[in-house]
Structure 1
């Protein structure tokens, strides 16, 4: 399978694919999380990162690349244990330590527990990546169930608030916080009313927090992905939509998690020392104003 084929959904029979465990075993093309051409240079040596939603998709790619750059990683995830164990193996292959912390970020008590476990394991925290998210897509507002709207905000916004509030007292000058927002926060999403609204809230939270923490020497930035091939896509969309996912971009293809991860390295490292309150758009060439 060549590189172009790897970047698209495919009807290749399961037995002919290099498949991954857990939730990803239901995907008919695995997300690409580890670009062989990447050359690490110790940008995050001896740092400790806590990554929410780090078991698969974008979070897995970030965890893997952080490990390559010398960081130890704590991964917060819901209940996809097989995915998380796979990611842990990938992190440890790079000589880094990896702590798995399963639980529900919609609960403030769990967010506190997750940060405490990270500090107990590694003795410090340098980088927080708030990446966990869910999406329940509906075409019309009449179809959006109130409980689903609440769930989306509890996961995408409240979870981000809880984990950040607990993490900040442990951060010091030079530490960084990175939020995963979305191009939907800027341009809207017809079938993602609650998702786009939650990601816009994350964007406002990120920008406001950056103003609060700049005097402490803590930088706060974000990554805004376009259409990226992750387990969230087939889990939240019908097959008819999935098959053409990403083709609306100028590059006319879906992006892969491995194409986002270097942006998270940049924002976590001293290479972005003059950046705070900013968003990097990695979206296949779409021009976004905001």
Structure 2
């Protein structure tokens, strides 16, 4: 595996999301878990900020750039998870999972998805809470629709930890939620286009489940990737071309080094028939400046 990044402060970056900045540099936003938090239970995965790392060389090296300031609209210490960032026109939009306070257990706490927007990825304007299917929702993924508008997928824990979606013409108003992927519990949906198809990957905590679609609406199961230990978790994909001109993806995911310590990795992702193929041990000639 190629270790791409680990958080130098708390040693547990998770849920990476990558985007090109306005100056051509690349930014990685992630959940900054606190591996050395002494309090009991799962306090160490709560009370988290959204960390930032930046790369000036196409993703080969990353420098820690602190945490995103001003995202929490409420007083006190609260929890931010799983950033998703897209660009629409001249604005960036961030969707983050929000849990009040610093819980010491997983269950029993409301979870919502916040919307912020920015012109520069530094100063963020709070745009409210998304109107979704329950108050137990996390892990947003937004994708621009081919005929205009946007679709946002997310995990609804109140509906068996399945994937739901809403549509928007402008990232402001939203349609009624609908269930998209049911079955085994999962989280962290990520959608991208590769080799003529749309693909969705989700984290089943035993590797990443894959679904394939021609229309972003109907999804068929397409196997698993990164399902050997240490399992790959909550990934983001950036599409690009390899040195031979073939469309491939760079998949950015995290693994557990120990129960608490995590690292972000990168691997090459290829479409092969109705499946995705990912060799986590193959060399990666990463250059995000070759994205498509």
Q: Give the TM interval when normalised to the shorter protein.
A: 0.3 to 0.5
Bigger fraction of residues in strand: 2
Which structure: greater helix fraction? 1
User: What is the TM-score of this pair, normalised by structure 2?
Assistant: 0.33
Which structure has more relative contact order (CA 8 Å, sep 6+)? It is: 1
